[in-house]
Amino acid sequence: MAKRPAIFLDRDGVLNDVVWRDGKPASPRTPEELVVADGAAAAVAAFRAAGYLTFVVTNQPDVRRGKMTAKALDAIHAALVAQVPVDEVRACLHDTADGCACRKPRAGMLLDLSARWNIDLGASWMIGDMDRDVDCGRSAGVGTVLLDRPYNSRSGADVVLPDLTRAAAWILETQSASRAPALQD
């Protein structure tokens, strides 16, 4: 079976709006706090139409920290997938101190998904809103897109773009250009 390219998407700040708590970007803790980002469904549909597998890869330590329940997290993911169909949602519930392989910036979630879904990492992309998303993508050997947000460094990614709609257009345009036949003299 041929390997397929994939788009790995961070959740908060990419597919849905962040929730601001104490002046810091945070994750929604209830389905009622989930606000799907403008253009997210259309961007994911465009990726899927172009042959990409699509995955959500998200750090969600609030369950471990006792700030939300696993049931609430499952409900948030169900609400998200109902609006933005993806192939799979993968969440790391560990806290930073746990030292797991799946918590971004480590690449464990991407590598596990790659093995399970037969993904061509060299033709795949990680789209995130935090530097740790870029580091994760680089560690997995995928292209990286950082969405420009007031809370990130805006550096280190292959490209920095304002939103998921523009990220999808850029990736799909880049893919199309790289697959175009060479002109003969």
80-122 confidence digits (pLDDT tens): 999 999 999 999 999 989 999 999 999 999 999 999 999 999 9
Q: Using alpha carbons, select from 181, 174, 179 the residue that is nearest to residue 47.
A: 174
Query: Please, where are the H alpha helices in the chain?
Result: 40-49, 70-83, 108-117, 131-140, 164-179
Which long-range CB contacts under 8 A does 18-27 form with residues at least 24 apart? 18/129, 24/151, 25/129, 25/149, 25/151, 27/58, 27/60, 27/62
Burial class (CB in 10 A: 0-12, 13-18, 19+), 174: middle
What percent of the chain shows pLDDT beyond 70?
Answer: 95
* Sign (positive or negative) of CA dihedral 33, 37, 38, 44: negative
Q: Is 12 a catalytic residue?
A: yes
pTM of the model: 0.94
Task: Convert the pLDDT of each residue in 22-43 to its tens digit.
Answer: 999 999 999 999 999 999 999 9
